[in-house]
Amino acid sequence: MKTLADILPGIIEFRHALHRIPEMAGQEFKTSQLIRERFAVLGLEVLPPFLGTDVVALLHGGRGAGRNVTLRADIDALALEEATDRPYRSTHPGHMHACGHDGHAAMVTGAAELLVSRRDEFAGSVRFVFQPGEENRAMGRELVAAGVLENPAADVVTALHGMPGLPIGTLATRTGAIMASCAHFKVVLRGKGGHSSRPALSRNPVTAAAALVHELEGMTGRLVDSQRPAVLTICRIAGGELANVIPDEAVVEGTIRSLSPDSDAVLEDGFRRTVAAVGAMRGIETEIEYRLSYPVTENAPEPTELAREVIRAGSGRYVELAESSMGAEDFAYYLKRCPGVYVKVGTGENSPAIHNSRFDFPDEALPFGIEYLVNFSLAALG
């Protein structure tokens, strides 16, 4: 039977290899090939891709039929220029693993290597999912819809994500909502352009956009109880190119997030009504794009309690998260289909934030995540 000490040097090297080749959502061709090559020698059932760049493998236990545990890692990168001086820094200009997905994939790979050597200890199966496109595209929705959690049907799912500010060696979670929903919106306001000296002959979409921003800023407080966190953020306003010309169009873009699934429909309805009212008052035509890309990520009670027990029994330290994050995560789609738990693994108190050009998932955190994934799988399979 292999030990964590046996595999750790190879897993660290594997993470570094992934870190060198960051790829964007749906374009993870080199990444998925590297993972497939690694899994080919483990003796697992590696499935044909569901979406093109995903990798899914099954490990069947030596004690016959039983439950299925699914372990998920995301594998895509971000459009950032890496600012670290690591010898394994990104070789793809303008792209880097700034969210730690190389670390997530390495931990699931390490868990696979250890569980292969312990397959005679459990019945049932473990599914290893390496998912493309978590960032922005939420391809977890497509992967779940394509049947990644079927044949065999998953009984429980879990995933890890690095958390800056949490000490290395610490793992944390909470029951219920752990990550927010996220809707992306874009409003195009169409008016009538003209010269700035004669505004009465125009219908100014820029001032309409300003009025819309003012109305939207207070919308969540009017619609959602203050005990249910929700936040609307305007991230982009665009319109016109010259200081003395009223344009025909202006654009407002941003996100709406909440921690309650019940709030999502209320917020979308209120958003659409607000846009329509502002447009009607000012004679402006409005066009709305609204996509609820990420539902609320909700941990089920039983898997979450199992995660607590497993972490407390291991070498890491367990911390109960006092509050949810308003960030979003497409692991929510797995949890909507199957009970499970999303766990944060500490990347250090002084770690740069994720989505930062200096972030690098620390090798020192890998063994704690691998240990959790192995022990959770064995405990869930009984």
Q: What is the CATH number of the domain that holds 290?
A: 3.30.70.360
The pair of three-digit structure tokens given for residue 187, joined into one six-digit string:
């409003």
> How much of the chain, in percent, has pLDDT values that exceed 90?
97
CATH code assigned at 49: 3.40.630.10
Does 208 share its domain with 321? Answer: no
pLDDT of 43? 85
The Cα 365–Cα 382 span in angstroms is 26
Query: What does the chain come to in residues?
Result: 382
Helix, strand, coil fractions of the chain, as percent rounded to 5: 35, 25, 40
Does 69 share its domain with 173? Answer: yes
User: Does pLDDT of 227 surpass 90?
Assistant: no
Does 377 share its domain with 330? Answer: yes
Q: How many domains does the chain have?
A: 2
Give the other-Cβ count within 10 Å of 140's Cβ.
25
Closest C-alpha among 143, 138, 167 to residue 349:
167
**Which neighbouring-strand residues pair with 68?**
125
Q: What are the phi and psi torsion angles at 374 (to 5°)?
A: -65, -50
Please say whether the beta carbons of 330 and 294 come within 8 A: yes
Q: What are the phi and psi torsion angles at 327 (to 5°)?
A: -70, 170
User: Does pLDDT of 185 surpass 90?
Assistant: yes
> With the C-alpha atoms ordered 325, 378, 302, 134, is the resulting torsion angle positive or negative?
positive
Full-model pTM: 0.94
The Cα 254–Cα 236 span in angstroms is 6
92 labeled part of a ligand binding site: no
pLDDT of 5? 97
Number of H helices, E strands in the chain: 10, 16
Does 135 share its domain with 277? Answer: no
Give the other-Cβ count within 10 Å of 210's Cβ.
16
Does 67 share its domain with 192? Answer: no
Does 170 share its domain with 47? Answer: yes
pLDDT of 225? 87
Does 321 share its domain with 377? Answer: yes
pLDDT tens per residue across span 303-356: 999 999 999 999 999 999 999 999 999 999 999 999 999 999 999 999 999 999
The H or E element spanning position 292 is: strand 285-294
pLDDT of 272? 98
Mean pLDDT computed over 252-257: 98
Rounded mean pLDDT of the chain? 97
95 labeled part of a ligand binding site: no
Angle at 143 between CA 137 and CA 149, to 5 degrees: 145
C-alpha to C-alpha distances, 346 to 157, 167, 325, nearest whole angstrom: 20, 5, 15
Cβ burial of 243 (10 Å; 0-12, 13-18, 19+) is exposed
Please say whether the beta carbons of 125 and 71 come within 8 A: no
pLDDT of 20? 98
The two most distant CA atoms of the chain are separated, in Å, by 82
The Cα 204–Cα 196 span in angstroms is 10
Does 148 share its domain with 10? Answer: yes
Of the residues 270, 294, 318, the one at which a domain ends: 294
Say what the alpha-carbon torsion angle 33, 37, 43, 49 is, to the nearest 10 degrees.
10
Confidence of residue 198 (pLDDT cuts 50, 70, 90): very high
pLDDT of 346? 98
pLDDT of 119? 96
DSSP class of residue 349?
A: T
Does 285 share its domain with 191? Answer: yes
Of the residues 294, 329, 353, the one at which a domain ends: 294
182 labeled part of a ligand binding site: no
pLDDT of 1? 87
Domain with 309, as residue range(s), is 4-179+296-381
pLDDT of 323? 95
Confidence of residue 226 (pLDDT cuts 50, 70, 90): confident
Mean pLDDT computed over 153-182: 98
User: Does pLDDT of 125 surpass 90?
Assistant: yes
Cis ω for the linkage preceding 199 (within 30 of 0): no
Does 263 share its domain with 318? Answer: no
The Cα 287–Cα 165 span in angstroms is 41
Closest C-alpha among 92, 74, 82, 87 to residue 135:
74
135 labeled part of a ligand binding site: yes
Please say whether the beta carbons of 162 and 348 come within 8 A: no
The Cα 312–Cα 305 span in angstroms is 11
Of the residues 272, 294, 316, the one at which a domain ends: 294
User: Does pLDDT of 97 surpass 90?
Assistant: yes
pLDDT of 54? 98
Does 288 share its domain with 307? Answer: no
Cβ burial of 15 (10 Å; 0-12, 13-18, 19+) is buried
Does 278 share its domain with 324? Answer: no
